[in-house]
Amino acid sequence: MECFFGSYERDGLGVDSKKMLVCFSIPKAGIAFKAPFDGEKMHTEYASLLTLLEFIELNQKLFKGKDLKIFGDNMELVKQINITRTCRYEFSELLKKALDYKQKYNFSLGWIPSDRNPSTTQLFD
């Protein structure tokens, strides 16, 4: 089953507002998720992926017996997880958590251009 994750920066918000959105979608299941998040771009990307993986863990019946193909539009994050590339220290625990999920669920992780990522392009449909 194809799953997508990404982040979105909201414009025109006040200083105290959470500027980013954590996003994921599973089009074949009709699932789209977005939530405000207080973090910079890379932190939000990790939060989006981990939120998707936690959703998968909590809804295993939906994914049982299906190959999980996860796509994100942040090449750096995809490389960090697929090649266990180093990351900034503040993201090391998030990378470890993502790698633990990858070992547990054996999903593939690929890159998709941002204009083809339904988790963010169909955000307000």
Q: Where are the domains of the chain?
A: 2-121
Residue 41 DSSP SS3: helix
Give the closest residue to 102 by CA, choosing from 123, 125, 82: 82
Q: What's residue 70's pLDDT?
A: 98
Query: How do the pLDDT tens digits run along the chain, 125 residues long?
Result: 999 999 998 875 555 556 899 999 999 999 999 999 998 999 999 999 999 999 999 999 999 889 999 999 999 999 999 987 677 888 889 999 999 999 999 899 999 999 999 999 887 66
The per-residue pLDDT for 56 is 96
Please tell me the CATH code under which domain 2-121 is placed.
3.30.420.10
3-state secondary structure of 14: coil
β-bridge partners, 111: 72
Strands 2-9 and 20-26: antiparallel
Long-range CB contacts (< 8 A, 24+ apart) of 101-106?
Answer: 101/50, 101/53, 101/57, 105/53, 105/56, 105/57, 105/68, 106/68
